[in-house]
Chain A
Amino acid sequence: MKLVLVLVAALAAGQDRPQTVAGCPGASQQFYPCAKAKARAFNPPRMPDGTPDMRGAWNNPTTSGSQNIEDYPGDSFLGPQKTLIVDPPDGKIPYLPRWATKKQENLQQYIDPFGTCYPPGVPRHVYSPRGHHILQSPGVFAIVSEFAHVYRMIPTDGSPHIGNDIRLYMGDSRGRWEGNTLVVDTANLTDRTWLDIVGDFHSDALHVIERFTLLDPDTIFYETTLNDPNVFTRPWTMAFPLVRMEKGHEVLEEACFEGDHDIPELLETYKLYLGLNPPK
């Protein structure tokens, strides 16, 4: 049998979303304060070096596979979604007025860069479907995702970001422990990734802070703040849970590009997204 993995647009239709996670409401805006309080009170299992132990396989049951990060009622193509955005309180991305039509232009004219199997960028890969392994060893926190086999190697050894002229789809992430929270600072990103399937975007000035905190043995409280003064009026924050997958879960190979045969056809109608400021 040949296992051919084809990228399907309707990745996770959004059905069967849990109403509660770890005793907190599943929807991000209600999850956020509840998770924050629980995480503050929880004494997590620890690695031999004393840092919290988050090793294992994790999934994101309240997101819809990076289809839409704002409120969405759902349609024949995309599942319904409650906004992942907890700040600003209206749950909307605070775009600068001059970008008012850009998202719609992206959606109508361009192929989602993740649809061509390019690395999804940070933080999109965290709310992409099919699970992640977290591996920890002294000085290292690694996230290996099944979707498009992307990974992040996050040094936690105090080392600095790489030079500003090197740009990476997945950016350069550096972590540090603040109490029981892993704080990850990601820079060196490109402007070639989107934030979801419907064209939400950023520039190469995007700077991402993520916070990973266990709130019980099987739940990570994840929050991420995106700052990009070229595109947003202010920094804004998403939050959602990562839930431990069944014991022994194995993240396997998804050979995304190798099974993707529709790009020539798509290029007849849509354009490749080569960034907010594409090369001339």
Chain B
Amino acid sequence: MALAAIPAAAQTAVALRLGSGQALRLGSGQAPRGALPRTDDGKPDLSGVWQVLNTAAWDIQDHQAALGVPAGQGVVAGNDIPYQPWALARKQENLKNRRTADPETKCFLPGIPRITYMPYPFHVVQTPAQVSILYEYLHATRNVFMNVEHLPGSIEWFMGDSRGRWDGDTLVVDVKDFTDQTWLDRAGNFHSEALHLVERYTLVSPDHIEYEVTVEDPKVFTRSWKMSMPLYRRKERNVRILEYECYAYVHEEEARRRAVPPR
């Protein structure tokens, strides 16, 4: 592509971006604070493709390896999820029935925070009024509207209602209005529609976000609890999020099955 077609100011920004994964906005007249990339309005720049490197998708707590499940150190603070007694029984039931009961097997939107630590990347697009998180898995999206209140009324969303604000250099996202149709992992950890999350995204280096989420659900847990993990920037050349269209693949299998005449 010819850079000549791009306005001069844009070319400078493009050149800086192309020249460095850190994308320091040196031309903006603002001295860089530390080594963190920043947007035009001075906030840490979370833009780009991110992914976790852990086993929380299988089980957010410490777990042994099993067939098809890598062993893993948990992401839950203290490794303890404070279930109410009935809820602990339900979790164990879920674990037993996970092969059919896990909503992931139905290809439904997996909810928050689960989608964050599934083994698929996501792209953060950051503007002052809105931060959108675009996930490869099921082309799920979250629009985080900045500095505005939650929608009124008891609405239930698979991916919740996300409202953001900056706390210093940390993006804080308050998420509520969930369904009770999503789980937290493949080990049957779950929540109700009363789930309330506070996520904190802190850029700690140009290529690492420290992600922390506080989980609150008075119908299921006895107190709030936390998970935390790093998000890693995908550094491959020309990397982009691709597609994982779960239910389309399920339908395709079904169509194949129907196409084969019964013997």
Contacts and interface: CB of A to CB of B under 8 A. Distances in A.
A252 B157 CA distance: 9
A116 B127 CA distance: 32
The secondary structure that dominates the A interface is loop
A30 B183 CA distance: 52
A107 interface: no
Given A51-B10, A255-B158, A138 B251 contact: no
A153 B126 contact: no
A140 B125 contact: yes
A251 interface: yes
B153 interface: yes
A162 B5 contact: no
Interface string A157-191: 11110100010111010101111000000000000
A271 interface: yes
Nearest to A117: B247
Given A55-B127, A253-B159, A258 B255 contact: no
A272 B248 CA distance: 10
Contact of B14 (A55, A133, A139, A150): A139
Contacts of A218: none
A276 interface: no
Interface stretch (B73-81, B94-102, B215-223, B236-244): B236-244
A135 B125 contact: yes
B245 A119 contact: yes
Interface in B5-36: 5-10, 12-14, 17-18, 23, 25, 28
A136 B108 contact: no
Q: In the complex, which of the residues B123, B157, B248 has the most CB atoms of chain A within 10 Å of its own CB atom?
A: B248
A153 B151 CA distance: 26
Given A119-B243, A153-B123, A138 B17 contact: yes
A96 interface: no
B255 A274 contact: yes
Interface residues of A, number: 56
B143 A250 contact: yes
A153 B108 contact: no
A178 B141 CA distance: 29
A157 B158 contact: no
B167 interface: no
Contacts, number: 148
Q: In the complex, which of the residues B47, B139, B140, B245 has the most CB atoms of chain A within 10 Å of its own CB atom?
A: B139
A142 B5 contact: no
Nearest to B126: A137
B65 interface: no
Given A135-B125, A255-B157, A177 B134 contact: no
A1 B155 contact: yes
Given A140-B47, A177-B10, A48 B28 contact: yes
A144 interface: yes
Contacts of A156: 14
Contacts of B179: 2
B5 A177 contact: yes
Nearest to B127: A135
B130 A135 contact: yes
Given A135-B127, A158-B1, A251-B143, A153 B240 contact: yes
B9 A50 contact: yes
Interface of B: 1-3, 5-10, 12-14, 17-18, 23, 25, 28, 39-40, 47, 107-109, 123, 125-127, 129-130, 132, 134, 139-141, 143, 145, 148, 151, 153-159, 179, 181, 238, 240-243, 245, 247-248, 251-252, 254-255, 258
25 contacts: A50-B10, A116-B247, A119-B243, A119-B245, A135-B127, A135-B132, A138-B14, A138-B17, A138-B25, A139-B14, A149-B140, A150-B139, A162-B242, A168-B243, A170-B139, A170-B243, A174-B1, A176-B6, A248-B148, A252-B157, A255-B158, A257-B108, A257-B247, A267-B258, A271-B255
Interface of A: 1-3, 48-51, 55, 116-119, 133, 135-140, 142, 144, 148-151, 153, 155-160, 162, 166, 168-170, 172, 174, 176-179, 248, 250-253, 255, 257-258, 263, 267, 271-272, 274
Given A135-B132, A144-B132, A149-B139, 16 more contacts: A1-B156, A3-B155, A49-B13, A50-B9, A55-B127, A137-B127, A138-B23, A142-B134, A144-B141, A144-B143, A157-B18, A158-B18, A174-B1, A177-B7, A248-B148, A257-B107
